[in-house]
Amino acid sequence: MTLMIRKVTVFVLFFVALFAASAPADENKALTIIYTGNINGKLMPTQMCGGVHAGGFSRRAKMLEDIKETNKNVLMVDSGGLFAVPARQDQELRARQAFEIYDFLGLDALNLGQREFYFGAQYLADASQKVSFSFISSNIKSETPQTWLKPYVIKEIGGFRAAIVGVLPENSFDFYVDPEKVKGFTIISAQDALKELVPQLKEKSDIIVLLSQFDMEETAALVNGVPGINLAVTTSDQSINEAPLEQDKVIVPTGVKGQFFLSVNVTKEDGKLVIRQNDPVALDKADQHNVMVDQMIADSNRENMQAIRAQKKQEASAVKATVPVYNSVEEFNQKIKEQRQDLIKQSGEPEGEEIKAKLKYNGQEIPAKITVIHKKDQTTKTDDTSASEQPADGSEKPADAPATEGDLK
């Protein structure tokens, strides 16, 4: 009798264990997707409406650190637009700094947009060797295989297999991008690329995430036109309600400059995928920062300043090297005389004619009118030199006046 009870008990426990391992398994899946985009090179807090400063990688790192203390199932993606327009000398260094911090934060995938190509494809290829996250683009094609550029990536986190794809507009290389630096790369139709790729990924994944460089309306058209995309992250600050979507599809905008911490939660309920957008959290607390990221930014800023100073010093030296140096007043006056004679010979004008010329004086070119006199060393300049023809340094000395010792300092 005891043996029979034990057998029944074992059977019941086995049945319960089997049921628990199968039926509710999907219900226990949970994934938090943290997304950014259009950072535009703003690694430090920037001013919002009302004068409050928000954003910055240090504050984002602190928020991420707090979340990961209780939630390990986190996927972090960026939809592109990470770099600033390279108008300043230090932007390439700042781009490298952004990659290093993102790698420290644990970014999983970066969609390549127009801004990522400001410094060229080779720059990205080299950078990919130094970071652990993936560079993705589903509609950039290369004439030769590029192992660093991936059409998609699949990450398994929290029981979910998340497939990540990314697209950018076909004209992205037409502005601010040096054609020579993207030679051999072309951008094809985003919709055509996704229609070919997404059906293949549906069998390999539980959720397909699209990182888009298109605006809200265009991204909605892509999501509606390509069955299988569950979540789209668009580099837009438009309201989510402005995009008409089909059922069970979600689009979330990133805003600009990383001023908010944005995320969605993904679960399975009754066998159905459920995506819930969390409320945006403004990164506006001055005491919210990560010490390690602070140090990385400080070190990089110091390196940036050193590079800028070195470049300015080099440019100043180059300018100084172009200014002629004379050993005496006599040598200077002789050089001016030779310039006049050379200009007369080159002009071929007859006696008494005027020629327009530029004489070099104190390293500057001075507009002048010279009257041609075919007598040795007797060429003179007319008296109607206007104020605009005076030296650019503000002095009143005519172009053909003999130099003094002060002119050579």
Task: Give the per-residue pLDDT at 8.
Answer: 37
9 occurs within a structural domain: no
Domain identity same for 303 and 340 = no
**Is the domain of 95 the same as that of 145?**
yes
Phi-psi region of 59 (alpha: psi -120 to 50; beta: other; left: phi over 0): alpha
Residue 321, in any domain of the structure? no
Q: Which residue has the higher pLDDT, 216 or 366?
A: 216
More confident site: 185 or 4: 185
Rounded CA gap, 23 and 274, in Å?
18
CATH code of the domain covering residue 138: 3.60.21.10
Is residue 23 a part of any domain in this protein?
no
The per-residue pLDDT for range 165-196, each reduced to its tens digit, is: 999 999 999 988 999 999 999 999 999 999 99
CA atoms of 384 and 391, how far apart (whole Å): 15
Which tens digit of pLDDT belongs to each residue from 187-231? 999 999 999 999 999 999 999 999 999 999 999 999 999 999 999
Q: Torsion angle, CA of 261/154/112/276, rounded to 10 degrees?
A: -30
Based on the fold, state whether residues 154 and 58 are members of the same structural domain. Answer: yes
Task: Provide the pLDDT for residue 99.
Answer: 95
**152 and 270 share a domain?**
yes
Residue 4 lies in a domain: no
| Residue 41 included in any domain | yes
Query: For all residues of the chain together, what is the average pLDDT?
Result: 79
Structural domain contains residue 314 = no
Q: Residues 26-37: pLDDT tens digits?
A: 667 899 999 999
Question: By residue range, what is the domain housing residue 381?
Answer: 329-408
Q: Within this chain, do residues 191 and 48 fall inside the same structural domain, yes or no? A: yes
213 and 97 fall within a common domain: yes
For residue 295, report the phi and psi dihedrals to the nearest 5 degrees.
-70, -40
Say if 231 falls within a structural domain. yes
My answer on whether 121 and 210 are in the same domain is yes
DSSP for 169-238, written as a single string = -TTGGGSSS-GGGGTTEEE--HHHHHHHHHHHHHTT-SEEEEEESS-HHHHHHHHHHSTT--EEEES--S
Q: What is the number of domains present in the chain?
A: 2
The reported pLDDT for the residue numbered 1 is 42
Q: How far apart are CA 20 and CA 17, in angstroms?
A: 5
Residue 165 covered by a domain: yes
Q: 355 and 270: one domain? A: no
Residues 190 and 45 in one domain: yes
Q: Pick from 252, 278, 308: which residue ends a domain?
A: 308
**Shared domain check, 287 and 334:** no
Residue indicated by tokens 């929290």: 158
- Tell me how far apart the alpha carbons of residues 249 and 220 are, in angstroms, rounded to a whole number: 9
Q: Do 300 and 169 share a structural domain?
A: yes
- Higher per-residue confidence, 297 vs 267: 267
pLDDT in tens, 37-54: 999 989 888 888 778 889
List the single range of 123-127, 149-153, 294-298 with lowest mean pLDDT.
Answer: 294-298
Q: What is the pTM of this model?
A: 0.70
Which of 275, 308, 341 terminates a domain? The answer is: 308
Highest mean pLDDT among 100-104, 299-303, 387-391: 100-104
* pLDDT of residue 329 exceeding 50: yes
Q: Which of the listed residues 279, 308, 337 is the one where a domain comes to its end?
A: 308
Please check the confidence at residue 375 and state whether its pLDDT lies above 60.
no
* Rounded Cα distance, 267 and 44, in Å: 33
Is the pLDDT assigned to residue 316 strictly greater than 90? Answer: no
What does the pLDDT read at residue 345?
A: 72
Same domain for 253 and 353: no
